[in-house]
Structure 1
Amino acid sequence: MKCSSLIFGVLATLAAAQTPSPYTDVKSGITFNTLQHSSGMFFGLALPANATGNTDFIATIGGKGTGWSGVSLGVGSFRKTAQYASPAVATGAFTQTTIANGTYVNSTHWTYTFLCSKCIQTDGTTFKPTDAAPSLGFALNPTAPAQKTNPASSVSKHTAQGQAVFDLSKAKNAKFEVWKGYAVPKVATGFAG
């Protein structure tokens, strides 16, 4: 069984997932088609209004607590596994760039928002550019990764899982290019001397 995971810290308790629906993040102003899980975990996608030939998307993931969550995109800390085991870090042409004004912690939850470039793959690794309503899997565990600051850290087996069908027409927005501009790669500091 092929299983890809987007791994980040998250979660607390668990229950049934809901159908994704539009949600606008209050800090960034980005509108996502968002799965809101009763545990507090959420995951959303934003796409350009005309997605023809597009391979990029903006995603947000967040929740409560310090465990981990995964979404079957094949991106994030870029992990992939073909077995029931802690997924290894994957490599490829895809990149992930943080959107700072959509990444924050407050008194109720944390949110991580990012631009995923070259992440929509024609081979179906994530979802195809022509998909209208892909089914994305998710999994979570309230236990934190072994090394919270290491993207390659091992994670415990999921304690819950599910599927959500994302209506990608609800993820499309004419403001995508503006929002994409919020993703600014980190600039190395220092000097040669």
Structure 2
Amino acid sequence: MQYPRPRTILSALSLICTAAVPARGGSAKSYIDVDTGTSFFGHVEPSGYLFGMMTPQQPTTDFIAQLVVPLTNGAGWGGVSLGSSMNGPLLLVTWPDGDKVMTAARVASGYTPSAVIPYTTNPIALSPIAQGTFVNSTHVSSTFLCAGCINADSFDPAWADDEHRDVFFGYAYSQTAVDDPSDIDTRLSDHTAGGAAGSYGDFPVVLANARSNEYDQYAAMAGADGRSQAPTSSATSTAVGSATSTAPPRPAATSDGEIPPLELVVLVVLGAVYLLQPFIA
């Protein structure tokens, strides 16, 4: 009886795993937000971190963003980089100040908290959508119109017409409080320290999937409580009171083709047995 070379077995397993494991481009997915009742496209982490976005059918300068960040004892912050790197692209960050939600635009010139400063390069405004903006015992949720945020420091709106092009965004969160939660320009805490207390990474987004026929309806809700702010010569940040919500803000449903971890393991094992059967008979 001849036994296959180890390289043959490894090659077979490699083919199975390649076929069974979802492509990296599948990280971002559509989900229905339970608070606004509308569909966003974005990225969810097992910790409860979430970034979602919605654009009009023909994006120009604005989009709607949703940031959900896990908290520890009511403390923490999280954000998204509109590019694969922390250094350079427009950063959107949110954190709680008691029962208020603080949301700000930042830019980083380095990889330390002191290098992350208020964004003033292009005129933008962040206007809250109250229905999806709140603090509870486990999370802070900020849903807002990001006016002027599609610019040279973020992404090209033309990419929304390309259904096959991935744009990489970065995420980061920390469950350690910012220096002064009441100060919109406060220094952020380090998201790389403390093991599980912080995390960061990147994820691919096919911007064409963020286009929505509901965009105009929800954009009109921005600042409906009288706190809407027009774009100025510098970045505009918002601080809003929280709405009442007791459940962790998680997607109600998702549409994706990912295979759950247990089923994935079973598929890999069964596939390996099937391919190796001629060699072990």
TM above 0.5: yes
Aligned to 1:179, the other structure's residue is in SS state helix
* 5+ residue gaps, structure 2: 1-25, 83-89, 93-103, 160-164, 193-198, 230-281
**Aligned counterpart in structure 1 of residue 105 of structure 2, from 67, 78, 94:** 78
The separation in 2 between residues aligned to 1:64 and 1:138, in whole angstroms, is: 13
**Structure 1 residues 98-107 or 146-155, which shifts more?**
98-107
Partner SS state of residue 28, structure 1: coil
Which amino acid letter does the alignment assign opposite residue 203 of structure 2? A
Matched, 1:35 2:43: yes
Pairwise CA distance, 1:68 = 1.6
Identity %: 31
Which residue in 2 is equivalent to 1:20? 28
> Residue 75 of structure 1 contacts residue 119 of structure 1 at CA under 8 Å; is this kept in 2?
no
Q: Is the 8 A contact 2:127 2:228 kept in 1?
A: no
Say which is worse superposed, 35-44 or 64-73, in terms of deviation: 64-73
Tell me which of 109, 115, 119 is aligned to 1:90: 119
Mind listing any 5+ residue stretches in structure 1 that lack a counterpart? 1-17, 189-193
Question: Quick one: distance in 2 between partners of 1:98 and 1:46?
Answer: 14
Q: CA deviation at 1:115?
A: 0.1
Give the deviation of 1:67 after TM superposition: 1.2
Rate the CA distance shift 1:108–1:142 in 2: closer, same or farther, 3 A.
Answer: closer
Structure 2 matches for 1:104-143, cutoff 5 A? 104-106=134-136, 109-121=139-151, 123=152, 125-131=153-159, 132-143=165-176
Asked if 1:47 corresponds to 2:55, the answer is yes
Q: For residue 55 of structure 2, what is the amino acid of its counterpart?
A: L
* Pairing partner for 1:183 from 208, 218, 222: 222
Deviations 1:61-87 (A, max 9, x none): 013212121211314311112112221
Query: Secondary structure in 1 aligned to 2:217?
Result: helix
Q: Which residue number corresponds to residue 69 of structure 1? A: 78
Mapped to 2, the partners of 1:153 and 1:137 lie a distance apart of: 21
Cα deviation per residue 1:146-168 (whole Å; 9 max; x = unaligned)? Answer: 11121211112222221110111
- Considering fraction of residues, name the structure with more helix: 2
* Matching residue of 2:271: none
Q: What is the distance in 1 between the residues matched to 2:184 and 2:45?
A: 24
Taking the aligned partners of 2:68 and 2:112, their CA distance within structure 1 comes to: 23
Match of 2:130 in 1: 100
Secondary structure of 1:177's counterpart equals helix
Structure showing the higher strand proportion among its residues = 1
Q: Indicate whether 1:150 and 2:150 are aligned.
A: no
Aligned length: 167
Please say if residues 129 and 221 of structure 2, whose CA atoms lie closer than 8 Å, have aligned partners that are also in contact: yes
TM-score normalised by the chain length of structure 2: 0.56
Deviation at 1:174, TM superposition (A): 0.9
Pick which of 100-109 and 163-172 moved more. 100-109
Indicate the structure (1 or 2) with the bigger Cα radius of gyration.
Answer: 2
Q: Are residue 169 (structure 1) and residue 208 (structure 2) matched?
A: yes
